[in-house]
Amino acid sequence: MSRSLFASYFAEKIRMSPSLGSYLGDRRRDSHYEDALSPHMLQATKELLERYQKALEAKQKNLTIEDVTLAWEVKIGLEDQMFPLEQLSTNSFRNTVLDLAFNESQMYPHPSESRYRDYATILRTVVYNMQQGIASRTVLPRRICERLISSIQEFVDARMCIRGTEEAVTDLLHFLKRDYLPACRTTIGICELPRGKPMYRHLIRQQTSTNMTPEAIHAYGIKEVERLETAFRRIQAAMGRSKRESLSHFYKWMMNNPDHYCKSTADVMKCYRQMQKRIRETIWKENFDYTLKTDYHIKKVSKDMESSSGGAFYIASSYRPGEFEGTFYVNTRDLKENPIYSMYTLSIHEGFHHYQYQYMIEKKVPSYMIYGVTNNGYSEGIALYAEELGDYSDPLDEFGHLVNAIMRAARLVIDTGIHWYGWSWEKAVAYMTEHVPLSSSEIETEIERYICYPAQALCYSIGRKVFMENREKYLKAFPGDSKGYHRLLLEDGIVPLHLITTKVHDAIHKASI
């Protein structure tokens, strides 16, 4: 049997990207790391995408799910090439210096001088791309550059540089201070950049795998915030609070209650491990028809990464057993960033990332349908959807669930507000402060993330919307069969969201014949 187009494409992609092969467990090229955003590699990537675009066009009929997924991947990849995204690729949220150090510490069992030389080359490419950005007026906001400089300086001062990259890191730091910072802009949205609005529309498609418009997403976000505030009112009453109390006062009361926080980082980690066991023994068993062989690890974010990392994140398992294992990283820099009421929902979200990947790996879904797809709308959307499967009979757990839900809804409003409607930093902070029960430092971190990573924050709620709508259709046709629906979601790997709708439609149609 001949290899599928997607399998061939993915094999070529791995040859171009040694780090992808290493991540998947192929150690033959551990001594190298690709310079993915260099002019040469961008051109090579474009040529690869164009070849497979032609191959798909030649096939035309009888396209499989793999073919349709590859077609989406190729389309989005070629659209990427229409915009100077590489000129904005290093920022305070996606810091190339720190990312390389993290990958080195987590992915490679042995040192390699040639790999270290590749890292230095990558950092020189960062400088080149940012120089091109100055020339094209495609530059970072000043506040983001200041944060980037600060985090790299802390990294250098702590002597954390990978051996052989010290000079390249120092050169990057000097360039940022001397040349780049003076050229930075005072605005924060990419709509202020040349061709910024078309770029943002593309990033929405890339991140959500839908064709929703910025206007529709903004309006949907406002509607969701209103719906969730009504739910908060119900929790407020259940906790015996006065009907006259404002939501903002209720939020502060919840956030300032010392009983809602762990006493130590050890307690934080213990609570997350308890949540892990609870979720596996309830949500997974009740909603899925397969028992996973391995669970995820839970680790603290290292001290040197705390200031630049989010509150929590998951790194997926390698496809090859015995290599990198799925890990949920918890940032314990501040106990107040890990309230007990949010731990259950957060554990569902990050834990489900592991369950979705591990299910696909153990069910032998082809690796290219798991790791060869750029689709946050699916992977983040399904994790947010999974939060809806939780048991929120405890008002404290429900409060935490609503905190996460309203944060994701507010993201729709703020991300589109910043990048489509040109909101200022102050307006974004004011909106989130009014509607989301987070501390001021957490709010600033969130908004900085939206600025650095346009449209990424949209994928959660938009993906959830698609999964919830299709669940309703499926269960109407197959009452009580949630396990069947979830099998349908996971069985083919990570696919564009429109394929989920197609699969549900086909399942219902087949059953009606």
pLDDT at residue 316 in the model: 87
Taking residues 357-379, what's their average pLDDT? 93
Residue 409 in tokens: 């809804």
The neighbouring-strand residues paired with 329 are 299, 313
pLDDT at residue 309 in the model: 72
Is position 469 within any domain?
Answer: no
Is position 442 within any domain?
Answer: yes
Of 161, 189, 217, which marks where a domain is finished?
189
- Compute the distance between CA of residue 238 and CA of residue 93 in angstroms, rounded to an integer: 38
Is position 46 within any domain?
Answer: yes
- Shared domain check, 133 and 60: yes
Scanning the structure block, which residue is given the tokens 């308890």?
274
- Shared domain check, 331 and 220: yes
Q: Cα dihedral sign for 187, 405, 306, 354?
A: negative
- Shared domain check, 449 and 346: yes
- Compute the distance between CA of residue 9 and CA of residue 11 in angstroms, rounded to an integer: 5
- 134 and 86 Cβ atoms separated by less than 8 Å: no
Of 163, 189, 215, which marks where a domain is finished?
189
- Compute the distance between CA of residue 150 and CA of residue 25 in angstroms, rounded to an integer: 34
Angle at 311 between CA 308 and CA 314, to 5 degrees: 95
- Compute the distance between CA of residue 268 and CA of residue 260 in angstroms, rounded to an integer: 11
- Shared domain check, 225 and 144: no
Angle at 16 between CA 314 and CA 113, to 5 degrees: 80
pLDDT at residue 1 in the model: 44
Taking residues 309-337, what's their average pLDDT? 85
pLDDT at residue 324 in the model: 76
Is position 507 within any domain?
Answer: no
Say how far residue 257 (Cα) sits from the centre of its chain: 30
- Compute the distance between CA of residue 347 and CA of residue 350 in angstroms, rounded to an integer: 5
The neighbouring-strand residues paired with 300 are 330
DSSP H or E segment with residue 431: helix 425-435
Taking residues 143-155, what's their average pLDDT? 96
Backbone phi, psi, residue 298, to 5°:
-125, 120
Is 297 in a helix, a strand, or coil? strand
What is 441-505 written as a DSSP string?
Answer: HHHHHHHHHHHHSTTGGGHHHHHHHHHHHHHHHHHHHSTT-HHHHHHHHHTT-S--HHHHHHHHH
- Compute the distance between CA of residue 26 and CA of residue 19 in angstroms, rounded to an integer: 9
Sheet with strand 327-330: strands edge to edge:
297-300, 327-330, 312-315
pLDDT at residue 457 in the model: 97
- 179 and 172 Cβ atoms separated by less than 8 Å: no
- Residues with Cβ within 8 Å of 35's Cβ and at least 6 positions away in sequence, in order, are 41, 118, 121, 122, 125
Taking residues 243-247, what's their average pLDDT? 91
Is position 115 within any domain?
Answer: yes
- Residues with Cβ within 8 Å of 394's Cβ and at least 6 positions away in sequence, in order, are none
pLDDT category of residue 340 using cuts at 50, 70 and 90: very high
Taking residues 414-440, what's their average pLDDT? 97
pLDDT at residue 512 in the model: 87
- Shared domain check, 256 and 371: yes
pLDDT at residue 90 in the model: 97
- Shared domain check, 373 and 345: yes
- Shared domain check, 328 and 262: yes
Question: How many structural domains is the chain composed of?
Answer: 2
pLDDT tens by residue, 250-276: 999 999 999 999 999 999 999 999 999
Of 444, 464, 484, which marks where a domain is finished?
464
pLDDT at residue 61 in the model: 81
Is position 479 within any domain?
Answer: no
pLDDT value at 318 more than 90: no
Domain residue limits at 246: 207-464
pLDDT at residue 320 in the model: 78
CB-CB neighbours of 198 under 10 Å: 13
Is position 142 within any domain?
Answer: yes
- Shared domain check, 224 and 182: no
- Shared domain check, 302 and 174: no
Backbone phi, psi, residue 161, to 5°:
-60, 140
- Shared domain check, 267 and 175: no
pLDDT tens by residue, 176-232: 999 999 999 999 999 999 999 999 999 999 999 999 999 999 999 999 999 999 999
In the chain, what percentage of residues exceed pLDDT 70?
A: 99
pLDDT at residue 2 in the model: 59
- Shared domain check, 166 and 29: yes
- Shared domain check, 172 and 30: yes
Angle between helices 459-477 and 196-208 (to 10 degrees): 40
pLDDT at residue 62 in the model: 84
Is position 470 within any domain?
Answer: no
320 vs 282, more confident? 282
- Compute the distance between CA of residue 299 and CA of residue 451 in angstroms, rounded to an integer: 28
Taking residues 27-35, what's their average pLDDT? 96
- 167 and 123 Cβ atoms separated by less than 8 Å: no
Comparing CA positions, the residue from 462, 453, 425, 472 lying closest to residue 221 is 462
